[in-house]
Amino acid sequence: MLVHIGVFLIAVSFAVVSIYIVKILMRTSRLLATAGKSVTLMEARVDQMIGEMEETLYVAGNTVNDLERKMDSMSSAFYVVRDISDTSQTLTDGISGVVESYDRTDTLKGTGPFVRLIQFSEFAVELFKSWKQGERASKTYKEGEGSV
């Protein structure tokens, strides 16, 4: 009889341990299912973010190309300004030399207004030539840009 009671107690303890293991396995199963859903959602979000990042990189690349073209077009404008500056510097140096020579010559004292008029007209002509040269360079650059 004691053997039967011992076997019965072992069966009951096995049943209790089995129920406990089943509960733990069920909780683990639910946890893994929830983790799987979370991973699936995270994967979808990462795929969406990658698509948005690709689009952002594409737009950034277009912006960089646009800025590069604009900087190239602005560089020609700066070249024109530099050429105008060089021309005006050359003109000013030449005019100052002529003015000094006229100031030193006593016989030409009454011709000051005429000399100034000639100087201003020479300055205007050189400035106009420089402007036309810059305009031609700008047109040449724009025509070259259209063929690219």
pLDDT single digits (tens) 23-79: 999 999 999 999 999 999 999 999 999 999 999 999 999 999 998 888 887 887 788
Query: How many domains, in total, are found in the chain?
Result: 1
pTM: 0.41
On whether the CB atoms of residues 84 and 134 are closer than 8 A, the answer is: yes
Distance (Å, whole) CA 28 – CA 40: 18
For 124, the domain range is: 2-146
